[in-house]
Amino acid sequence: MEKDNKKIILYDTTLRDGTQAEEVAFSVEDKVRVALRLDELGVDYIEGGWPGSNPRDIEFFKAMKGQSLSRSTLVSFGSTRRAHVKVKDDPSVKNLVSSGTPVVTIFGKSWKMHVQKALRVTLAENLDMIGETVTYLKKRMDKVFFDAEHFFDGFKADAAYAMKSIETALSAGADYIVLCDTNGGTLPFEVADTVAHVRGSISAPIGIHAHNDADTAVAASLAAVREGAAMVQGTINGFGERCGNADLCSIIPALQLKMGLNCLEDKRLAKLRETSRFVYEIANISQRKHQPYVGQSAFAHKAGIHVSAVLRNPLTYEHIVPESVGNNQRVLVSDLSGRSNIVSKAAQFGLDVKSDSPVIKDVLGRLKILENEGFQYEGAEASFELLVQEALKKKKRYFKLHGFRVIDEKRTADPVPHAEATIKIEVDGEVEHTAAEGTGPVNALDVALRKALERFYPALCEVRLIDFKVRVLAGMQGTAAKVRVLVESGDGVDKWGTVGVSENVIEACWRALVDSLEYKLYKDEKNSGKRSTGRCKRKSGKGS
């Protein structure tokens, strides 16, 4: 869609509202790193926190004085003065001024119930608190934004008073009036009607701040923009209290790619997924695979008929070009796969295999049998690539197992069970028999296997087990049921997933671990054309 010249202001509150999410806790250093990444993305305003509410935010604003933002403006956040306190004497207002930011956002009550029940002041006093605070800050800051808290609920209850609250802020000099759906329960059509009313009643630019309690925060934000809101507030990945805030990772591409409004330069928009993943990592939270636009599964295709179509024309099943937001198309393989899936995956591995090749038929048949047994390759693409290599008669056998034994022993005096694994393998006719301890049976087996192989394949020292998942497959066998083990490994350059299935959890782990190490060796040979050499510097400790 051709872009409109109208610029939508992006206001990010990940570092303030986002940190109110139950599982999010950023250190000062975390907040600085996120702020710099948001500046790189190119949002207009970064709300850093409430310097009057906690020492961490005070330290953050001090730390940011030594940083240089090239595209974004840092904003401090706070409330109107306290009831019955002069604005010049209010410590929270003083902290806003001393934060050093050129812009400040304050919130004030626009819902009569909150004024009377939460603040327990008169309606007139609340308006004085709004007006006096905005006036005071406007004399000391470049810009003052007013967040009309609970505006939509307040408008439903008493439209005249809600309007009076924002008119008071506007008269006092507020640069933006931001309408907040603080409880997150206002539906998009209600937001649209209310914003249209406000837009026709005041001259100041309007912003929207939506929460996601009704799962409509993104839709409500887009509806507000359509009715004239020029600023959108939200958080990366929708982090926020209760059900979260409006997700900027969905709002930004919707505004820019679907509504034709100017938000970010195209090269900045392509950093969106990268920014999303960065914030997840800093928050130590797993990314939502099915998150729109930026999730791992956002452009993943599984059904054979879908893959066949999307390979001819991506628009058949993709609503935008994935790369525009930094994502990419993925073709999954499963028992629902058709020939197109296999051909596409083979192409990703650099293999030129035609759809009518016997290899494709062989892989597809084996895939359906294996998935019926419980294997799943959607999160184990390394195992699938090895499966394709086997079908092509190109899979190399790097070692031969003579046997392994795992002991898991709990003694009365031990605080935790003791795990030990013994393994005997053969490489090029030479037998290696070794043992290792671990923090559990799987860890012990992993350490023992790599200890046995590293003399022959030094590159395996680089491999680390990143994630490990065990799932009991549905059935009537109870504790004898099959289990599927998914292992994610990495070597500091790449990450890859492997899978193993068995009625015995250790055997399932073994299969996944073997695939992981074989894939590392196969990958290195494919990239360099020869076996990795060099001495292995073993790290201390039992962890893998």
For residue 76 the two structure tokens come to 């401090």
What CATH number is associated with residue 423?
3.30.160.270
Q: What is the pLDDT of residue 395?
A: 81
**How far apart, in whole angstroms, are the C-alpha atoms of residue 169 and residue 135?**
8
In a domain, 348, yes or no: yes
**181 and 222 co-located in one domain:** yes
In a domain, 538, yes or no: no
**278 and 231 co-located in one domain:** no
In a domain, 21, yes or no: yes
Domain boundary among 261, 295, 311: 261
Domain boundary among 321, 353, 385: 353
- Going residue by residue through the chain (544 aa), what tens digit of pLDDT does each one get? 666 678 999 999 999 999 999 999 999 999 999 999 999 999 999 999 999 788 899 999 999 999 999 999 999 999 999 999 999 999 999 999 999 999 999 999 999 999 999 999 999 999 999 999 999 999 999 999 999 999 999 999 999 999 999 999 999 999 999 999 999 999 999 999 999 999 999 999 999 999 999 999 999 999 999 999 999 999 999 999 999 999 999 999 999 999 999 999 999 999 999 999 899 989 988 789 899 999 988 988 776 677 677 777 888 888 999 999 999 887 665 544 555 666 665 666 555 666 667 777 777 777 767 767 777 776 678 888 888 788 777 788 899 999 999 998 887 777 778 899 999 999 999 999 999 998 888 889 999 999 999 999 999 999 988 888 888 886 545 555 788 898 889 998 888 989 999 989 899 999 999 999 999 999 898 877 555 444 454 443 333 3
For residue 13 the two structure tokens come to 């509150």
**How far apart, in whole angstroms, are the C-alpha atoms of residue 295 and residue 385?**
23
In a domain, 392, yes or no: no
Q: What is the pLDDT of residue 533?
A: 47
Q: Which domain holds residue 164?
A: 9-261
CB-based contact 212:188 (threshold 8 Å): no
**Residues whose CB falls within 8 Å of the CB of residue 132, separated by 6 or more in sequence, listed in order:** 80, 81, 87, 172
**340 and 408 co-located in one domain:** no
User: Which pTM value belongs to this model?
Assistant: 0.71
**How far apart, in whole angstroms, are the C-alpha atoms of residue 69 and residue 86?**
34
**44 and 172 co-located in one domain:** yes
CB-based contact 95:136 (threshold 8 Å): no
**53 and 171 co-located in one domain:** yes
What CATH number is associated with residue 37?
3.20.20.70
Residues recorded for the chain: 544
Domain boundary among 226, 245, 261: 261
Q: What is the pLDDT of residue 259?
A: 97
**173 and 287 co-located in one domain:** no
**107 and 140 co-located in one domain:** yes
CB-based contact 248:15 (threshold 8 Å): no
Closest CA to 507 of 480, 478, 483: 483
Closest CA to 6 of 212, 197, 174, 228: 228
Closest CA to 418 of 403, 391, 436, 430: 436
In a domain, 541, yes or no: no
Q: How many distinct structural domains can be found in the chain?
A: 3
Report strand pairing: 300-301 vs 483-490: unpaired
**255 and 317 co-located in one domain:** no
What CATH number is associated with residue 272?
4.10.430.20
**447 and 335 co-located in one domain:** no
Q: What is the pLDDT of residue 432?
A: 95
**184 and 271 co-located in one domain:** no
In a domain, 276, yes or no: yes
Q: Where are the beta strands (DSSP E) in 19-96?
A: 45-49, 73-79
For residue 330 the two structure tokens come to 């993925």
In a domain, 372, yes or no: no
**168 and 225 co-located in one domain:** yes
First CA to last CA across the chain, in angstroms?
50
Strand partners for 231: 9, 207
Closest CA to 427 of 392, 460, 402, 459: 402
For residue 231 the two structure tokens come to 């600023």
**429 and 516 co-located in one domain:** yes
**How far apart, in whole angstroms, are the C-alpha atoms of residue 544 and residue 69?**
40
